[in-house]
């Protein structure tokens, strides 16, 4: 049996004895991700959370005879998991809302909303997410009327499970119409990049993609207290899932200020590499004040997140040829290429790392062409620009990443979420460059892995599972989808540790367990490199540690 020293014990040992300045962890195996010394059984770190040594248990006990000992028994220790692409405040907001995932019919949705409503002030909107009409007996889209009887006055707005549609009640649509000038939701007009569902010319209550902004624009701004609670929930969720770091894509100056406050107060249990939200205030601050790093090392901002195209599900990804299931449609660019290049040049001038969302093969080509032009001879300077998603890339463009030092930042669960319909959208031939993890690895590019939470679950175990199996959680399809692109468990783990750290310029601090590195690690009941791939999604996380201190321990509730 393993035993984990409690936080209380750590604190008191440290308070009473000099000897506790060193902590010594032993376990059946420690995977260090350090090629120089990949497998050890003991690790020592100091009170500041810096790893002092890794090696054999006996040798380290002799070297640090007075260390506070932590014996993890049969457990396996891995470096802390890093999600190279997530949205932390988005996760927090989602966790603050009514959870509709798995609701089996509309009645269950309404029942969950009524229960959740009890926690709300009288004048608040009722927000929820996670509904999926495909799970209901009647698979047609719901309508405002389905919500109106239970919620005649309070505005209700519910995101669909994929985030690409929202469902409003009549009270919410009334607020939207009050904010509109010259027209109503009725008629036959449609907003850019979106669709208002209508029946006999009247809006039914469902808004798709770009049309969701009509409601988004009138939602009340969350106040700071609400935002702080949302962040606390997101941090607790991340720690519970074994995450010690996240690359937070699209962070406003206001969000960064909140993270700094949490870091100052010692409440930031996650290492955040924040990427500024486009050409806004946060990027302007980087250009005037320089790259940002909190003295405690838990928050930094040295990059910017840009967008070139939309998403594949809603046919917004920019393709070089027509969508296979919609002639004449090649998707859309959300930033015009000239404007985009201007922002990239500005970032280059400020020494800021560029990370661009590109999903379609046209979107990816524009980004790589732009990077090549802007970087020129600087491409050799280790700038580590990134392509976020790199989902459908022309096979000719894949080998262009490595020579430019460009990182492919990909999300294994996107592949398994999209596999049921990706071939319809793309046809067979284009799939050769779709979610092509092995092709990127073979080309010599760095492959950083993540989840894109809250679009997908933040749980990196699901990412490891999807990366190694390319199957859904029921094991479908047999053998995996486009199985030649599967990763080995070791490659997948590297994508969530050392290579994610590299993508954030953090490889000298995290992603590996070696002397001088931060003691960020996860204790697992079983060895992810030894269990059958089919069980990677339910590995038991016993505890999560950041800077040598536990931020999550199974059985102990930490959620505020
Ligand atoms: Zn994202």
* pLDDT (tens digit per residue) in 265-284: 999 999 999 999 999 999 99
How far apart are the CA of 183 and the centre of ligand 1, in A?
33
Per-residue model confidence (pLDDT) at position 557: 66
Q: Is the pLDDT of residue 87 over 90?
A: yes
Q: Is the bond preceding 454 in cis, omega lying within 30 degrees of 0?
A: yes
Q: Is the pLDDT of residue 82 over 60?
A: yes
Per-residue model confidence (pLDDT) at position 192: 82
Query: What's the distance, CA 401 to chain centroid?
Result: 22
Q: Is the pLDDT of residue 5 over 80?
A: no
Q: What are phi and psi of 103, to 5 degrees?
A: -60, 130
How far apart are the CA of 305 and the centre of ligand 1, in A?
9
Mean pLDDT score of the chain:
94
Q: Is the pLDDT of residue 422 over 80?
A: yes
Per-residue model confidence (pLDDT) at position 556: 82
Q: Tell me how many degrees the CA angle 440-445-446 measures, rounded to the nearest 5.
A: 105
Strands 39-46 and 22-31, how do they pair?
A: antiparallel
Query: Which tens digit of pLDDT belongs to each residue from 350-390?
Result: 999 999 999 999 999 999 999 999 999 888 889 999 999 99
Q: Is the bond preceding 477 in cis, omega lying within 30 degrees of 0?
A: yes
Tally of CB atoms within 10 A around 273 = 24
Q: What are phi and psi of 174, to 5 degrees?
A: -65, -40
How far apart are the CA of 372 and the centre of ligand 1, in A?
23
pLDDT tier, 20 (very low <50, low <70, confident <90, very high otherwise): low
CB 397 within 8 A of CB 289: no
> Comparing C-alpha atoms, which of 10, 1, 128, 2 is closest to residue 519?
10
> Comparing C-alpha atoms, which of 260, 283, 284, 287 is closest to residue 272?
260
Cα separation, 31 vs 29, whole angstroms: 6
Percent of all residues in the chain with a pLDDT value above 90, rounded to a whole number: 89
H helix or E strand, kind and range, residue 257 = helix 253-264
How far apart are the CA of 1 and the centre of ligand 1, in A?
40
Strand partners, 463: none
Percent of all residues in the chain with a pLDDT value above 70, rounded to a whole number: 96
How far apart are the CA of 400 and the centre of ligand 1, in A?
23
How far apart are the CA of 360 and the centre of ligand 1, in A?
15
Q: Is the pLDDT of residue 291 over 70?
A: yes
Does the model's pTM come out above 0.85? Answer: yes
* CB-based contacts of 33, cutoff 8 Å, min separation 6: 78, 79, 493, 494, 497, 498, 511, 512, 513
Over range 468-484, report the average pLDDT: 96
Q: Is the pLDDT of residue 464 over 70?
A: yes
Cα separation, 230 vs 224, whole angstroms: 10
How far apart are the CA of 85 and the centre of ligand 1, in A?
6
Q: Is the pLDDT of residue 519 over 90?
A: yes
* 414-445 exposure pattern, b = at least 16 Cβ within 10 A, e = fewer: bbbbbbeebbebbeeebbbbbbbbbbbbebeb
Per-residue model confidence (pLDDT) at position 558: 54
Per-residue model confidence (pLDDT) at position 1: 36
Cα separation, 387 vs 65, whole angstroms: 48
Strands 22-31 and 76-79, how do they pair?
A: parallel
Per-residue model confidence (pLDDT) at position 144: 98
Query: Which tens digit of pLDDT belongs to each residue from 258-267?
Result: 999 999 999 9
How far apart are the CA of 274 and the centre of ligand 1, in A?
13
Over range 323-339, report the average pLDDT: 93
Q: Is the pLDDT of residue 235 over 60?
A: yes
Q: What are phi and psi of 80, to 5 degrees?
A: -55, 140
Structure tokens at 402: 């490595």
Over range 285-302, report the average pLDDT: 97
Q: Is the pLDDT of residue 418 over 50?
A: yes
Rg (CA), the chain: 24
Cα separation, 160 vs 107, whole angstroms: 16
CB 252 within 8 A of CB 280: yes
How far apart are the CA of 90 and the centre of ligand 1, in A?
10
């Amino acid at each position: 049996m393993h035993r984990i020293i409690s936080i209380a014990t750590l604190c008191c040992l440290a308070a009473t004895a000099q000897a506790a300045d060193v902590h010594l962890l032993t376990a059946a195996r420690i995977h260090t991700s350090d090629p120089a010394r990949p497998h050890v059984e003991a690790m020592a770190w100091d009170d500041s959370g810096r790893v002092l040594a890794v090696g054999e248990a006996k040798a380290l006990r002799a070297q640090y005879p007075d260390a506070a000992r932590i014996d993890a028994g049969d457990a396996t220790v891995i470096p802390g998991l890093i999600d190279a692409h997530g949205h932390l405040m988005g996760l927090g907001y989602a966790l603050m809302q009514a959870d509709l995932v798995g609701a089996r019919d509309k009645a269950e949705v309404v029942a969950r909303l009524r229960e959740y409503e009890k926690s709300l002030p009288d004048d608040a909107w009722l927000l929820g997410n996670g509904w999926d009409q495909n799970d209901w007996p009647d698979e047609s889209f719901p309508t405002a009327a389905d919500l109106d009887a239970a919620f005649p006055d309070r505005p209700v707005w519910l995101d669909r499970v994929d985030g690409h549609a929202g469902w409003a009640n009549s009270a919410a649509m009334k607020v939207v119409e009050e904010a509109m000038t010259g027209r109503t939701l009725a008629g036959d007009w449609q907003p850019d990049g979106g669709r208002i569902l209508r029946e006999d010319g009247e809006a039914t209550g469902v808004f798709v993609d770009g049309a969701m902004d009509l409601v988004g624009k009138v939602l009340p701004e969350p106040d700071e207290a609400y935002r702080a609670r949302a962040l606390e929930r997101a941090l607790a969720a991340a720690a519970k899932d074994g995450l010690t770091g996240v690359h937070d894509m699209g962070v406003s100056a206001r969000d960064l200020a909140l993270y700094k406050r949490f870091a100052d107060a010692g409440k930031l249990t996650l290492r955040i590499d924040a990427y500024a939200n486009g050409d806004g205030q946060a990027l302007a601050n980087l250009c005037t004040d320089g790259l940002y790093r909190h003295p405690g090392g838990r928050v930094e901002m040295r990059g910017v997140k840009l967008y070139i195209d939309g998403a594949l599900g809603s046919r917004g990804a920019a393709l070089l040829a027509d969508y296979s299931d919609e002639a004449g449609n090649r998707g859309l660019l959300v930033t015009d290429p000239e404007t985009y290049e201007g922002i990239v040049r500005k970032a280059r001038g400020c020494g800021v790392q560029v990370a661009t969302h590109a999903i379609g093969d046209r979107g990816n080509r524009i980004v790589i062409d732009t990077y090549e032009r802007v970087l020129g001879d600087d491409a050799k300077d280790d700038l580590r620009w990134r392509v976020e998603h790199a989902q459908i890339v022309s096979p000719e463009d894949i080998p262009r990443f490595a020579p430019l030092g460009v990182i492919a930042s990909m999300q294994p669960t996107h592949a398994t979420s999209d596999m049921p319909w990706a071939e319809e959208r793309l046809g067979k031939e284009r799939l050769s460059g779709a979610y092509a993890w092995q092709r990127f690895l073979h080309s010599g590019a760095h492959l950083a892995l993540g989840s894109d939470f809250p679009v997908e679950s933040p749980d990196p175990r699901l990412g490891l599972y999807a990366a190694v199996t390319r199957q859904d959680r029921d094991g479908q399809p047999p053998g995996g989808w486009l199985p030649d692109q599967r990763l080995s468990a070791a490659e997948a783990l590297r994508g969530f540790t050392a290579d994610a750290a590299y993508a954030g310029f953090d490889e000298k601090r995290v992603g590996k367990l070696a002397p001088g590195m931060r003691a960020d690690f996860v204790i697992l009941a079983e060895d992810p490199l030894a269990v059958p791939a089919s069980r990677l999604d339910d590995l038991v996380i016993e505890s999560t540690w950041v800077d040598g201190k536990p931020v999550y321990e199974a059985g102990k509730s930490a959620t505020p």
